[in-house]
Chain A
Amino acid sequence: MRVGVFICHCGNNIAGTVDVAKVAEETRKIPGVAYATTYMYTCSEPGQEEIKEAIKREKLDRIVVAACSPRMHELTFRRTIEKAGLNRYFFEMANIREHVSWIGENRELNTKKAIEAVRMAVAKVMQNKPLYSSSFKINKRVLVIGGGVAGMQAALDCADGGLEVVLVEKSPSVGGMMARLDKTFPTVDCSICILGPKMVDVAQHEKIKLYAFSEIEDIKGYVGNYQIKIKKKATYVDWSKCTGCGACMEKCPSKNAYDAFNFGVAPTRAINIPFPQAIPKKAKIDPKYCRQFTKGKCGVCAKICPTKAINYEMVDEIVTEEVGAIIVATGYSLIDMEKLPEYGGGKYPDVISGIQYERLLNASGPTAGHIVRPSDHEEPKTIVFVSCAGSRDKSIGIPYCSNFCCMYIAKQAILTKDHIPDSQSYVFYMDIRSPGKGYDEFTRRAQEEYGVHYIRGRVSRIYPKGKKMVVRGADTLLGTQVEIEADLVVLGTAVVANSDAAHMAEKLHISYDTSGFYVESHPKLRPVETNTSGVFLAGACQGPKDIPASVGQGSAAASKVQALFSKDMLESDPAIARVNINTCVGCLKCVSTCPFQAIKDKELKDGRVVADVIETVCAGCGVCTSTCPCGAIQLQHFTDNQLLAEVNALCQM
């Protein structure tokens, strides 16, 4: 065996705190190492050429590159050595950048640690076996989870490119948060007027199969071949018959149902169509409020329905769809105002959230676009907006900026003046964040043309005084306390991840951060990919994002899927579990622990029962290998012996 080791300077990234020449010198002493050298940028084209030439010149058969994280360049170098005629798995990377040079300042210790890392990689590479991938057919259908603007854009772009799309939306209509907005900043376009045509396109596109009021029950499989179980939640209305005429809603006697679409600004009926432009425009019954369910009798809607679509006996239905890629566009939620007790939201009716105010402004909202106080339905004259209600507050676990509140507060303040010309708006802000195109001009217009009074400081308390709400806060520019007696207070509540975001991430096998937002593959260079191949992100599920950014990501995710599907076959990763049937004792512990159901039992000719890995389902997670008591099941490329060789190399120094 002739191992070649290439130690990268990475400019000064590594060479700055690691004596790379010394690492090379020590490496040459390791038994099995035939060649070791250093290079300024090993990943560069001449760097890769150097590897290829050395393989031929020195007759090398195993290669170690000591450089950055394998997540960065493992694939690059695997391709390099493959071009030089070696099996791509005869390669190891020693991470002496992220694991060594970037985290330690002591040159001597760093150099020692780098040598240890190289020794481990050499020990591993000498144990490596050649592995070969097999190829399999891609199912060129795509699943989009979430029918907000990002999900719809992704679905439409995929469908326009000729792909079949399965779009799953958990609420009764597509549209998401954008469908609830009155106007959009900075152009003050009517939100539903620009979104509506997209919603109609989604409904009418022959390539898009829409499952509204449905949820993802289970995801099995891998890139190219996923099996998705979708739960179609019971609507108690047969949507194939419902024409969306709304007669049921008009006659429904249960008038106090919670209106999720309007964020509880006003009640709705137990049977309802969420909003006039809903897609699909179909009614559904909320059994929590429907008298047929709560009292056992009513049946008014069933009597009134001209198409006899009502079915109180309906149950949830599970359907299975097969796809080859998944775009996650599950969006965001807003912090519960009751988690901010100092502001009194949820306790005082005249303290409302920004999205609730949006519904009050909206012509198709519960007040038909008239701004009124929820408590007495009078028109407010003094309105206070509080930005960063929860955002940028480490004490409640939200250290981040919610991205678009500054902008929508400016928009709402402008619209308020348009609706009620004799009103005065105040905005408490920490910083005004308006970096988008035309955004800063917009916030300036609110201040300069619409006379909105901006106060830099935080609000400490909001409490009622007669019919008014007293907003007490600091004006940090004047260095004084301010108190404003407001008719209505609007909180720019923090954007948070959906409550089931973590659960969904586990189903998808993608990572999420401490706030519950999904983690992209690279924050700069792979913003819509995840580390699970075949799963892509779009919109605010990845972090707070405004409409143009969400739409951009929707299109980006769609283009990634198109690129993936441009091939007919995909290569499988051979680094999966394999069973040694000679040593397997058939305890089948692996079968019950496999998170992917990728192992089944198999009877051999002699009647012995052993475990058997289904190659195409195995994700190479390694749970089975740590479960197997006798080491009969081994993860290829990460076998016990390969890892033990690394441990021994480290411990026997």
Chain B
Amino acid sequence: MSIEALKETIGKVLKDVDVVIAYKEGFDALHSTPHFITSPEQIDKMIWNPLCVHNLTTYLPSMKNKKVGVVVKGCDSRTIIQFIQEGLIERGKVVVIGIPCKGVISVAKVLKAIDHKPIENISFSDNGDITITSEGEKKVLSLNDVSPDKCTTCQYPTPLIYDHLIGEEIKTEKPAESVYGDIREFEKLSLEERLKYWQGEFDRCIRCYACRNACPMCVCQDSCIAETRDPHWISQRLNLTEKFMFHMIHALHLAGRCVECGECERVCPMGIPVNKLKRKINLDMKELFDYEPGVKLDEKPPMFVFNVEEAKIKEHKI
């Protein structure tokens, strides 16, 4: 796809919306940042490359009163479908500009690969090579080696919902079984081993709530149960049980809702694999209710319905 085609589409879309959300360069060469375009002259500042990691749809529920255009990758598009399923946004108020995606980078992985040195320049070639200039030295990395885990098993490189598609559709070559391969592997550990693992991970949590704030599906925002006194589920004490409790609540509130965009894990300053817990619950939800969040527009999330009897839960049968 060409950036020119994208800019041209945004130019057209901008005529009927209040704002288009895209990406622009961030505070250094390795970071991009969301770009809110409200006038045509801002279009030129936008970028599109594997640095565009954010799930820009996060903003949509808070912009309900506006008509918004948004640039999405395949993974991000699931959020829009989930929003619509849950009634959090109106389809008519969003113009979706979809881009088939070959993968993005993980900033953490790139930094690790170059020993956390400051970056002067970064460029991308079509074959997936990333050339990084750091302290005068050039280093070539492969995108596959530094992309986040979600890209390595990506099933939906082409957006599942869009009004404008920029570039050619891409079909995934990654086997569907691979998606939860790591979870199934992890489940082979004993209960004690898993508890120990999570205790070790969550002990590092500093309760900055970045995972929650970045999560597009966390709708409560300022009313989050982690910070209220009524009800008072969690105290401010910084100990493992309270941290554990917060992550359990976060994960359970996303049961059958998490679109696995990985934003929680991307923004965690402590490198805690927080998405893993949500994906485990998603796997259970899939097996129990045959439901995958954010995939089909006409589905209803299982936790949004009350059924006296469920096909795979036998408690009411006589």
Binding site for B on A (CB under 8 A): 497, 502, 506, 512, 514-516, 580, 583-585, 587-589, 592-595, 623, 627, 629-632, 634, 639-641, 644
Which 7 residue pairs spanning A and B have beta carbons closest together?
Answer: A640-B231, A630-B220, A630-B223, A631-B231, A583-B223, A592-B304, A629-B253
Most buried by B among A516, A589, A593, A627: A589
* Nearest-CB residue, chain A, relative to B253: A629
Q: Which residue of B lies closest to A515 (CB)?
A: B318
Cβ of B233 and Cβ of A593 under 8 Å apart?
Answer: no
| Additional 17 contacts, C-beta under 8 A, given A585-B223, A640-B233 | A502-B318, A514-B318, A584-B223, A585-B221, A587-B87, A587-B220, A593-B304, A593-B305, A623-B306, A630-B220, A631-B225, A631-B228, A631-B233, A632-B223, A634-B231, A641-B230, A644-B233
* Inter-chain contacts of B87 with A (CB < 8 A): 587-588
Nearest B residue to A597, CB-CB:
B306
Residue of B nearest to A634 (CB): B231
**How distant is B255 from chain A, measured CB to nearest CB, in Å?**
11
In the complex, B88 has a CB within 8 A of chain A:
yes
Q: Assess A641 versus B231: contact at CB under 8 Å? Given A506-B316, A593-B305.
A: yes
Chain B residues contacting A630 (CB-CB under 8 Å) are 220, 223-225, 228
B189 at the interface (CB under 8 A from A): no
Interface contact B318-A593, CB-CB below 8 Å: no
Chain A: CB-nearest residue to B234: A644
B residues 95-114 touching A (CB-CB < 8 Å)? none
Cβ-defined contact, B305 with A592, below 8 A: yes
**Least distance between B313 CB and chain A CB atoms (Å):** 14
Looking at the assembled complex, report how far the CB atom of A80 sits from the nearest CB atom of chain B, in whole angstroms: 30
B288 at the interface (CB under 8 A from A): no
**Shortest distance between the CB of A633 and any CB in chain B (Å):** 11
Are A587 and B223 neighbours in the complex by a CB distance under 8 Å?
no
Contacting pair B306 A589 (CB below 8 A) = no
- Distance between Cα atoms of A502 and B308 in the complex (Å): 11
B29 adjacent to chain A (CB < 8 Å): no
Closest beta carbon of chain A to B268's beta carbon, Å: 21
| B219 part of interface (Cβ distance < 8 Å) | yes
| 27 residue pairs bridging A and B, Cβ less than 8 Å apart | A502-B317, A506-B308, A512-B318, A515-B318, A580-B230, A585-B219, A585-B220, A587-B87, A587-B88, A587-B219, A589-B303, A592-B304, A592-B305, A592-B306, A593-B306, A595-B306, A595-B308, A629-B220, A629-B253, A630-B225, A631-B225, A631-B231, A634-B231, A639-B231, A640-B232, A641-B230, A641-B231
- A273 to B316: give the CA distance in the assembly, Å: 37
Q: Measured between alpha carbons, how far is A584 from B221 in the docked complex, in Å?
A: 11
A632 to B219, CA, bound (A): 13
Query: Which residues of B are interface residues toward A (Cβ below 8 A)?
Result: 86-88, 219-221, 223-225, 228, 230-233, 253, 300, 303-306, 308, 316-318
A644 with B232, Cβ < 8 A, contacts A506-B316, A588-B87, A589-B304 known: yes
Provide the bound-state CA to CA distance between A501 and B11, in Å.
63
Give complex CA distance A115, B54 in Å. 54
Residue of B with least CB distance to A514? B318
Within 8 Å by CB of B318, from A516, A585, A641, lies A516
Residues of A within 8 A of B223 (CB): 583-585, 630, 632
Within the complex, the shortest CB–CB distance from A35 to chain B, in Å, comes to 28
Please tell me if the beta carbons of A641 and B232 are within 8 angstroms of each other in the complex.
yes
The docked-state distance in angstroms from the alpha carbon of A514 to that of B305 is 26
CA of A506 to CA of B318, assembled, Å: 13
Question: Contacts A588-B87, A593-B303, A627-B303 hold; do A502 and B316 have CB atoms under 8 A apart?
Answer: yes
Residues of B contacting A514 with CB < 8 Å?
Answer: 318
Q: Is the interface of B mostly helix, strand, loop or mixed?
A: loop
Tell me the complex Cα distance, A584–B223, Å. 8
On chain A, the residues within 8 Å of B231 by CB distance are: 631, 634, 639-641, 644
CA distance A131 to B43 in the complex (A): 59
A553 to B145, CA, bound (A): 76
Q: How far is the CA of A632 from the CA of B316 in the complex (A)?
A: 30
When distances are taken between beta carbons in the complex, the residues of chain A under 8 Å from B308 are 506, 595
* Distance to closest chain A CB from B299 (angstroms): 13
> Which residues of the partner chain B approach A631 to less than 8 Å between Cβ atoms?
225, 228, 230-231, 233
Q: Are B228 and A594 interface neighbours, CB within 8 A?
A: no
Chain B residues within 8 Å of A595, by CB: 306, 308
Contacts of A592 in B (CB 8 A): 300, 304-306
A632 to B222 Cα, complex, angstroms: 12
Measured CB to CB, the nearest residue on chain B to A513 is B318
Minimum C-beta distance from B83 to chain A (A): 11
CA distance A584 to B228 in the complex (A): 12
- Interchain nearest-CB distance for B86 vs A (Å): 7
Q: CA of A497 to CA of B318 in the docked complex: distance in angstroms?
A: 10
Q: Tell me the complex Cα distance, A623–B305, Å.
A: 10
Q: Given the complex, which residues of A lie within 8 Å of B316, measured CB to CB?
A: 502, 506
**In the complex, what residues of B have CB within 8 A of residue A583's CB?**
223, 228
Distance to closest chain A CB from B145 (angstroms): 38
Min C-beta distance of A645 to chain B, whole Å: 9
Q: Please, how many angstroms separate the alpha-carbon atoms of A345 and B86 in the complex?
A: 54
Chain A residue with Cβ nearest B229: A641
* In the bound complex, CA of A3 to CA of B224 (Å): 33
**Hey, which chain A residues are within 8 Å of B318, CB to CB?**
497, 502, 512, 514-516
Expressed in whole angstroms, the Cα–Cα distance for A589 and B308 within the complex equals 17
Most B C-beta atoms less than 10 A away, residue of A512, A514, A595, A630:
A630
Residues of B within 8 A of A502 (CB): 316-318
CA of A156 to CA of B135, assembled, Å: 97
Docked complex Cα distance between A502 and B318 (Å): 8
Complex Cα distance A630/B306, Å? Answer: 19
Interchain nearest-CB distance for A12 vs B (Å) = 37
The chain B residue with its CB closest to the CB of A632 is: B223
- On whether the beta carbons of A629 and B225 are closer than 8 Å, the reply is yes
Task: Kindly provide the distance from the CB of B161 to the nearest chain A CB, expressed in whole angstroms.
Answer: 20
- Supposing A514-B318, A640-B233, A644-B231 touch, asked if A629 and B219 sit within 8 A by C-beta, the answer is yes
* Complex: A629 Cα to B306 Cα, angstroms: 16
Most buried by A among B86, B303, B306: B306
Q: Which residues of A contact B317 (CB under 8 A)?
A: 502
What's the Cα separation between A267 and B232 when bound, in Å?
68
Residues of B within 8 A of A515 (CB): 318
In the bound complex, CA of A640 to CA of B230 (Å): 8
A506–B316 alpha-carbon span in the complex (Å): 9
The chain B residue sitting closest to A607, CB to CB, is: B65
A497, A515, A644: most-surrounded residue (chain B CB, <10 A):
A644
- In whole angstroms, how far apart are the Cα atoms of A642 and B317 in the complex? 33
Complex interface: chain B residues within 8 A of A516 (CB): 318
Complex Cα distance A613/B223, Å?
A: 19
Nearest-CB distance from A500 to chain B (Å)? Answer: 11
Question: Which residues of chain B are near A623, meaning CB under 8 Å?
Answer: 306
Report Cα–Cα, A115/B318, bound state, in Å: 38
Kindly report which residue of chain A lies nearest to residue B307, judged by CB atoms: A595
Which of A502, A585, A594, A644 has the most C-beta atoms of chain B within 10 angstroms of its own C-beta?
A: A585
Residue of B nearest to A506 (CB): B308
What chain A residues lie within 8 Å of B224 (beta carbons)? Answer: 630
Complexed CA–CA distance, A639 and B308 (Å): 24
Question: For the complex, what is the distance from the CA of A641 to the CA of B235, rounded to whole Å?
Answer: 12
Most buried by B among A623, A639, A640: A640
How far, in Å, is B179 (CB) from chain A's closest CB?
A: 25
- Docked CA distance A515–B317 (Å): 10
Nearest residue, chain B, Cβ from A397: B318
B303 contacts across to A, CB distance below 8 A: 589, 593, 627
Q: Complex formed: what's the CA distance from A623 to B230 in Å?
A: 19
A594 to B305, CA, bound (A): 8
Residues in chain B near residue A593, CB distance under 8 A: 303-306
CA distance A587 to B85 in the complex (A): 11
CB of B247 to closest CB in A, whole Å: 15
Q: How far is the CB of B236 from chain A (nearest CB, A)?
A: 15
A502 CA to B316 CA in the complex, in Å?
A: 8
Complex alpha-carbon distance, A516 and B317, angstroms: 10
Nearest neighbor of A642 in chain B, beta-carbon distance: B231
- Give complex CA distance A206, B12 in Å: 73
Inter-subunit contact A587/B86 (CB<8 Å): yes
A608 to chain B minimum Cβ distance, whole angstroms, is 10
